[in-house]
Structure 1
Amino acid sequence: MGMKKTIHKVAIATIMIIALSAGMTFALLSHVTESVTNVFASDKNLSLELREPQWDGYTFDDTYPTDILPGTSVKPGTENSGLQMAENYLPGNVISKDPMVKNTSDGLSEWVAIKVQYFDENGKAIGKTDFQKKYAKTAYQNDEVNPNFVKISDHAAIEELYMYTRTLDTTAGKNITEPLFSSVIVNKDLTPNSKNMWPTFSIKVTGYAVQSDGVSEDAARQALIELAKG
């Protein structure tokens, strides 16, 4: 019994000495270098433009007037635009709306995405399912959206983010997406509001871009999701 107790005490003492020694060694050998700042600069700019030519008549060759909010006014001389029909719609109307984006960067290719948000007659953001039940749905040929876009997020269930399946470079013909959708179909059984008028509702679209040079599709997808959350 005496021998066992002695061994136990020695073992404890040894552990304590090792712990103390390790602590002292860390203190004596630690070191922090001075900071070095490396500056990288570039004259390249990442930029993107969104247009809906069938909605308001403005194309990528046009510049929106500074005194109007894009998408809220028809280009002078435009006839039969989606916006003109939307301002006095009837149930069952097929209204032209064709959001697309263009890479306008200085020599940089891009991964791009378009976010869609839906709002009710009170200006409150609602989910796509509720919007379709109450008001309207988007259409592109036989689909709700262009199959060359893939939904990558439905943040908070009130907005959807669609990523284009190929990158956009700066070459003419390869720097513009196809429309995400081409029309909005108003519900035939739309219910009048309390004033016995057809309700006002809205769809908001926003474009996003991240560089594609040296960036994988998966990495770009995550970056676009985070960017659209802001």
Structure 2
Amino acid sequence: MSNVEFLDARTLRLEQTAVPPLSPEELAAMDRFWDEAVARQPALFDGPAVACVGVETQADGALLLSWAAATYRYRALRRVEGCSWFPASIFVTVLQPVEDGGLIVGRSSDLTASAGRWGLPGGSAEPPADGERLDVAALRRHAARELLEEIGVGCDPEDMTAWGVTRGEHGNVGVHFLAPKVPAALALKHHEALAHEERVRGVGPELDRLAVVRSVQDVSDLGHAADFLPLVVSRYVGGEPTGA
């Protein structure tokens, strides 16, 4: 948990900026490392993504996230030695509590870039469509979509609470939302049906297993987990939301 921190985010603002300029050599190295990654894992997709360019606490106490429209390819810059820009990402997650205590976590399937890793339902933020804004409301809607797509549980975005913001590996910023409680058996049933439907279609689920965790020890027992998960679970079971 030492490499992850909660950011003071009583108010969260997002502001679009440009991708920092890169040299031709850096761009060529990025493309080379990306192509190598795709060769190892053909399921990788160079889709649209939001790159976190800066994190700043403003005079009124709000947390400002500066972001740029990029693609997943830019993450290959992390492997370029001495690169002038170290790209981070902005992602959302959903804390889905169950009625008898604990949070639902899922294991990423072999079809994903983070195969075998346990985490909360969620995903990387994407640039908004033309004319739309990337703000907390947009992130909340994205989180609700991820919850439905990954475990089959529907939730009105307005029923989700902005719960906290973390910064962890590579400076990646997670915006975490809290959903209303559901029965654990119902969530597992929805996920089972969703996974079956996706396997029939030949796609396969993003999360191949679900579990309920009630402590940091439960997270440790799972094995490989997202860097933010132990701290988020610790804060949740301790009743310490940070706000956003």
Q: TM-score of the superposition, structure 2-length normalised?
A: 0.25
Q: Could you say which structure has the larger radius of gyration?
A: 1
Q: TM-score of the superposition, structure 1-length normalised?
A: 0.26
Higher strand share: 2
Higher helix share: 2
